[in-house]
């Protein structure tokens, strides 16, 4: 009987993943520029003393939405780090996919802000922002007690907006999606990277497992950086637009 796929207990999986830890820690840490920007621009600038103009009001909604969404991305990045260090690799594609979707949403918001700044159609942009920030496909109540009447944007549309900064974004998202669904082969690889039955002694497994980990971490890195880049643009350019339009 072949032992190629026999998982041996108590393998040193920590040693196998140690090469990735510096990259993981760097990608899990919020950059100082975006950290300072959050304190500098939030929350007072988004609440003008006088009623904002309609363009400024749309920008305010984008700003509030983006800051709130980025705070969620911080929790997701922390969760990816914790799962990675605990050896719970089977969960990581799912949480990384969520981060990638957040990046798509923030990039969509940034593109929408630029259209607003350039004098785009206000009615169209207002509908777009409402669907982005307040849309829902389930019965979720809005803060004032009513259910949303707007259908939320499809996540595939958000991911597509990344084409200008991440040309292979849809392929990367498809990779994460396959590993997030009950695809037996892909899920098994991630499951057998850590406890309770790591399989690193298997040379065939080891080679492909490292390829999967490296690719997944690479996506996590670009999504982490992308969310920060887009938030900075929204905070800085949005603030200037709100002040000039109010």
Residue-averaged pLDDT of the chain: 89
215 within a domain of the structure (yes/no) = yes
Helix locations, the chain, DSSP H: 13-17, 21-28, 32-41, 54-85, 92-117, 122-134, 155-160, 169-180, 184-191, 203-245
173 within a domain of the structure (yes/no) = yes
74 within a domain of the structure (yes/no) = yes
208 within a domain of the structure (yes/no) = yes
Residue that is written with structure tokens 């057998």 in the block: 192
Q: What is the pLDDT of residues 197-216, one digit of tens each?
A: 899 999 999 999 999 999 99
Q: In sequence order, what DSSP letters do the residues of 111-125 get, joined into one string? A: HHHHHHHTT--HHHH
Against a cut of 0.85, is the pTM above it? yes
66 within a domain of the structure (yes/no) = yes
Contact in structure between 58 and 241 (CB atoms under 8 Å): no
Q: What is the pLDDT of residues 72-95, one digit of tens each?
A: 999 999 999 999 999 999 999 999
147 within a domain of the structure (yes/no) = no
Provide the domain count of the chain.
1
Q: Count CB-CB contacts under 10 A for residue 141.
A: 10
34 within a domain of the structure (yes/no) = no
75 within a domain of the structure (yes/no) = yes
228 lies in which domain range? Answer: 53-136+153-245
């Amino acid at each position: 009987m072949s032992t190629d796929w026999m998982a041996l207990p108590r393998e040193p999986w920590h040693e196998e993943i140690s090469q990735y830890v510096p990259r993981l820690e760097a990608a899990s840490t919020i950059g100082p520029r975006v950290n300072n920007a959050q304190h500098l621009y939030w929350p007072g600038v988004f609440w003008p003393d006088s009623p904002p103009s309609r363009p400024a009001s749309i920008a305010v909604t984008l700003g509030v939405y983006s800051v709130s969404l980025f705070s969620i991305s911080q929790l997701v990045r922390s969760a990816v780090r914790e799962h990675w260090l605990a050896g719970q690799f089977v969960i990581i594609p799912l949480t990384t996919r969520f981060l990638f979707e957040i990046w798509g949403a923030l990039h969509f918001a940034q593109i929408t802000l630029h259209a607003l700044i350039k004098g785009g159609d206000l009615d169209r942009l207002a509908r777009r922002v409402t669907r982005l920030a307040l849309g829902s496909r389930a019965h979720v109540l809005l803060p004032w007690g009513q259910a949303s009447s707007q259908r939320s944007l499809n996540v595939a549309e958000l991911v597509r907006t990344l084409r200008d900064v991440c040309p292979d974004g849809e392929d990367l998202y498809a990779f994460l999606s396959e590993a997030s669904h009950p695809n037996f082969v892909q899920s098994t690889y991630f499951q057998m990277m850590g406890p309770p039955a790591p399989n690193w002694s298997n040379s065939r497994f080891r080679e492909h497992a490292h390829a999967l980990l490296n690719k997944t971490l690479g996506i996590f890195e670009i999504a982490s950086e992308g969310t920060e880049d887009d938030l900075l643009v929204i905070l800085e350019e949005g603030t200037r637009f709100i002040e000039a339009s109010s």
